[in-house]
Amino acid sequence: NRATGYLSMRVIQAKPGADGIDIDVDAVAGEPSQMRPPNLKMYVSREFDGLIRGDTLQDIYSSTIAFEGSGLTSDKQVYVYSDWRDQSGRLLPAELPGYTGRITRVIESKGASELANSGTGVAHFSILPNTHLQVLRLSDAERTTAREHFYVHVNGKSDGADFSPDKDAQGLLQYRPKHPVPTLIQVADIGASNTLKEELIPMAFYFTLPGSHKYTSPRSLNEGVQHE
């Protein structure tokens, strides 16, 4: 269903015919096909200059941006992954016509605008079966603008996608397409994050940062003091 993005799939068994040429297909009589939302996952991650992770003391160069998460203007680039499979997680046929994705943003009170209008060259992109990647790069001028909120929308059509908003919607929903395709996204586990933070506080010991003679003590973590 191209309006909603819902789809139905059925596994059938094909048998060679008695003549060895025709193929008989076992039909499942009386069983209607169920339309379900697509098993479509969207992932977003950011790439930045390396920093030391507090719990492992290992250098990291990327991290996930979950729902309502944020990046920094110093980020090198942002990756948008789409992963579309069948309901059981199996790969879909590569020839299957897909959906159309859109990256849009809301700049303070200026409303929604597609990125293509700002010269970044990213607005609509194809969402095809299995895993694919889009890269979002912002110019230096865009990095100095006011805080921006980016959104990924999906339309059920592979060609001629219509992202017209719902004129009756209120608030930020007025920028969302009237007929969005549901997607699965990553959501931060705040409880687990707070638990990890509490566990790391007593583990704050003296350690040497690579390439320097600076170290941090448990006391200085609270006072913001750095020692030589």
Q: Which pLDDT band, with edges at 50, 70 and 90, does 25 fall under?
A: low
% of the chain residues with pLDDT over 90: 23
pLDDT, tens digit, 9 for 90 and up, residues 181-215? 999 999 888 888 888 778 776 665 545 445 544 44
Q: What gap in Å lies between CA 11 and CA 185, rounded to an integer? A: 27
In sequence order, the 6+-apart residues with CB closer than 8 A to the CB of 136 are: 77, 78, 79, 80, 103, 115, 120, 122, 150
pLDDT of residue 182: 93
Asked if residue 35 has pLDDT above 60, the reply is yes
By CB atoms closer than 10 A (0-12, 13-18, 19+), residue 95 is exposed
Number of Cβ within 10 Å of residue 76's Cβ equals: 11
Asked if residue 112 has pLDDT above 60, the reply is no
DSSP H or E run through 221: helix 218-223
Q: What are the CA-CA distances from residue 51 to residues 46, 57, 58, 63 (Å)? A: 13, 9, 8, 11
pLDDT of residue 10: 75
CB 62 within 8 A of CB 45: yes
pLDDT of residue 33: 77
Asked if residue 119 has pLDDT above 60, the reply is no
